[in-house]
Structure 1
Amino acid sequence: MSDPAADPPAELTPDATALYARALGEGVLLAGREGLDWAPERIAAARGQLAGLRLLRPSGPGRWVPASPEAAAAELVGPLELEIRRRRLEAERTRTLLRPLRSLYAEAHRERGRSAAVELLPEVGQVRALLDEVSRSCAREVLVSQPEALEGATLLDSRPRDLDLLARGVRIRTLYPHVVLASPVVQRHFALMTEAGAEIRTTGEVVDRLIVFDRRIAFLPDRSRPGPPGALVVREPAAVDYLHRVLERDWDHARPFARTPLGYGDAADGVKRAIVRLLAAGHKDEAIAHRTNMSVRTCRRHIAELMREWGVESRFQAGVLAARLGLAGEEGGPS
């Protein structure tokens, strides 16, 4: 049977305190002669608590003597402190054992960074760790294209990193599709980030996620396998420069974010223009929805509204009319 005093009580009840005071006054506590008008069960409970806290010690059958709180604490806490010291020594031995490998790892990591023009990170944890590392060393600019609104967990993960970059004077520019403006949550996030100094624009189409740090390293999603995508990390200067210039071109044709009370706001025409351009090119609804980062159902609703607005009965007529009106050109061009 286990010792009931092995696991001390979590608190000291008023009954236990009163019984302890009685024991101190008498110098001894005798079973059945406690001098308290309590039921036996109540006395036993208080006595058991004092024994668990090492404040009462048996000195014979039905006889207990009080111990000082200091002695009780030493008996209870002493083994814990010994275990803590043992754990600390074990931790320090582990650190000492691994310390010589730190410089080896750092040098290998630097060499890999210098030599690996393209690196594949299959695990999300690896991607986040490298993003944090590159963010800490970023000095000038982060340029991002984001094809969809970030989920809550991802926002919580990325927002502190972005705010830290802005606080250090790093310029952050992010490009989103117009359709994300339909979400009030997204608009609140955009407002918070722009107030902190970030620049956000929206456009008709965003192909996929791309992050470029200081024009020296780029992150692309790796969707070659099922499950959450990893990342392709590009360090080759010519390739990074090309990706940056492509993203810069899309940025130049995009619309600056302006908070609106409902829907796409000023970006509504941009949404229509993107749909019309793809309609005129002969794309099907599914392809248009994918390219404009919206659901097929929402895409078909927009197409139906355009056809009603223009008084045409077929997608082909809509495409022809769009070309004739100059609406099928690139966003930012003539309308």
Structure 2
Amino acid sequence: MGTHPVEDPLRRLERVLAEDTARLTETRERLADIGDALVQLRARMHHIDLGDDLGVQVLEQEVASPILVRLAGGADQVDNVVMQVDVGAGAEDVNSRSELERAQEGQRQRTLVHPMALEDEVSRLRLSAKREVGQEQRVSDVPGTEFLVLGDEAVVTLERWGDPTSRYLFVRHPALVRSFATWFDAVWAVSPEVSLSVSGPDEAPLVRLLALGLKDETIARTLGVSLRTVRRRIAGLMDEHGVSTRFQLGVALERDGQL
């Protein structure tokens, strides 16, 4: 039997970090371009008299709910940004209605969850139930408002940017829909999976963020936990792997195939 050359753990770690750095740099450039476009988009949305030309319609949440459910039911893929689980786009009587059933029927659902939506146990349990039926979930504090991309047909966002209690904006203009979809993809590409473990923390997202060289404060904000919790979990990993420095921890994680 032939043997395959074993890559030195330190070399592999260096290569992985270089690849992640290049990917993050590219994504930051994409986000800057998309951010400029969204500034213009936001300005236009605040001039509702242009709504007809832009394919933008303003609706109260109770009026929007059945329309939203109908549109979501017909989409092959739904991408969602949730700031709070029980308010706005995360509420059970809005986009979550029939959400579990749609996932079970094969609809692809990707949800970017803001860290503040992970602060209470009830919200984590609801997100966990959705993930169990196939919903993909990642955590990010980059998007400053909620929005829902319904395939290539429409986007639903908020009239008042970042306020989940405000009225909804239905956007159907193809260029604007694509702008939101591209923005979502860019953020999704660099966001870690949501950690929802109840019995014990899933350390995979923490390990991934450590490998990216992020500061403890950034890791805590991204995972939606306290700085003390992050440092306690890192110390636990170091004890588990029998190392005394974070550099040694990285080598040990690489050796064990966790990076």
**TM-score normalised by length of structure 1:** 0.43
Could you tell me how far apart the structure 1 residues matched to 2:91 and 2:109 are? 17
- Uncovered stretches (5+) of structure 1, i.e. residues with no partner: 1-114, 278-288, 307-335
Could you tell me how far apart the structure 1 residues matched to 2:125 and 2:57 are? 34
Residues 245-324 of structure 1 mapped to structure 2, 5 A cutoff: 245-261=182-198, 266=203, 273=214, 302=227
Instruction: Give the match for residue 79 of structure 2.
Output: 143
Correspondence for 2:97 among 145, 160, 166: 160
Instruction: Give the match for residue 322 of structure 1.
Output: none
Please tell me whether the aligned partners of residues 194 and 223 of structure 2 are also in contact (alpha carbons under 8 angstroms). no
Residues 82-231 of structure 1 mapped to structure 2, 5 A cutoff: 117-138=54-75, 140-151=76-87, 154-223=91-160, 228-231=165-168
Could you tell me how far apart the structure 2 residues matched to 1:255 and 1:293 are? 8
Instruction: Give the match for residue 82 of structure 1.
Output: none
Aligned length: 177
Please tell me whether the aligned partners of residues 201 and 256 of structure 1 are also in contact (alpha carbons under 8 angstroms). yes
Instruction: Give the match for residue 43 of structure 1.
Output: none
Percent identity over paired residues: 16
The alpha-carbon distance between structure 1 residues 198 and 213, as it changes in their structure 2 partners (threshold 3 A), is: same
| Pair 1:235-2:159 in alignment | no
* Cα shift at 1:129: 2.6
Partner amino acid for 1:141?
Q
Please tell me whether the aligned partners of residues 138 and 188 of structure 2 are also in contact (alpha carbons under 8 angstroms). yes
The alpha-carbon distance between structure 1 residues 241 and 169, as it changes in their structure 2 partners (threshold 3 A), is: same
Partner amino acid for 1:144?
N
Could you tell me how far apart the structure 1 residues matched to 2:215 and 2:64 are? 32
Please tell me whether the aligned partners of residues 83 and 164 of structure 2 are also in contact (alpha carbons under 8 angstroms). no
* Cα shift at 1:261: 2.9
Instruction: Give the match for residue 96 of structure 1.
Output: none
Please tell me whether the aligned partners of residues 158 and 168 of structure 2 are also in contact (alpha carbons under 8 angstroms). yes
The SS at the match of 1:159 is: coil
Could you tell me how far apart the structure 1 residues matched to 2:227 and 2:61 are? 35
**Deviations along 1:253-297, whole A, 9 cap, x unmatched?**
1112343238986456869958856xxxxxxxxxxx9xx898xxx
Please tell me whether the aligned partners of residues 83 and 116 of structure 2 are also in contact (alpha carbons under 8 angstroms). no
- Uncovered stretches (5+) of structure 2, i.e. residues with no partner: 1-51, 232-259
* Cα shift at 1:156: 4.9
* Cα shift at 1:210: 0.9
**TM-score normalised by length of structure 2:** 0.54
Larger radius of gyration: 1
Please tell me whether the aligned partners of residues 146 and 206 of structure 1 are also in contact (alpha carbons under 8 angstroms). no
Partner amino acid for 1:150?
D
The SS at the match of 2:152 is: coil
* Cα shift at 1:302: 4.7
Partner amino acid for 1:194?
R
The alpha-carbon distance between structure 1 residues 147 and 155, as it changes in their structure 2 partners (threshold 3 A), is: same
The alpha-carbon distance between structure 1 residues 257 and 129, as it changes in their structure 2 partners (threshold 3 A), is: same
**Deviations along 1:32-71, whole A, 9 cap, x unmatched?**
xxxxxxxxxxxxxxxxxxxxxxxxxxxxxxxxxxxxxxxx
Could you tell me how far apart the structure 1 residues matched to 2:201 and 2:87 are? 19
Q: Which of the pair has the greater relative contact order for Cα pairs under 8 Å at 6+ separation?
A: 2
Instruction: Give the match for residue 316 of structure 1.
Output: none
* Cα shift at 1:231: 1.4
* Cα shift at 1:154: 2.1
* Cα shift at 1:206: 3.2
* Cα shift at 1:195: 1.2
Partner amino acid for 2:85?
A
The alpha-carbon distance between structure 1 residues 118 and 264, as it changes in their structure 2 partners (threshold 3 A), is: farther
Partner amino acid for 1:256?
E
Could you tell me how far apart the structure 1 residues matched to 2:101 and 2:70 are? 13
Please tell me whether the aligned partners of residues 158 and 164 of structure 2 are also in contact (alpha carbons under 8 angstroms). no
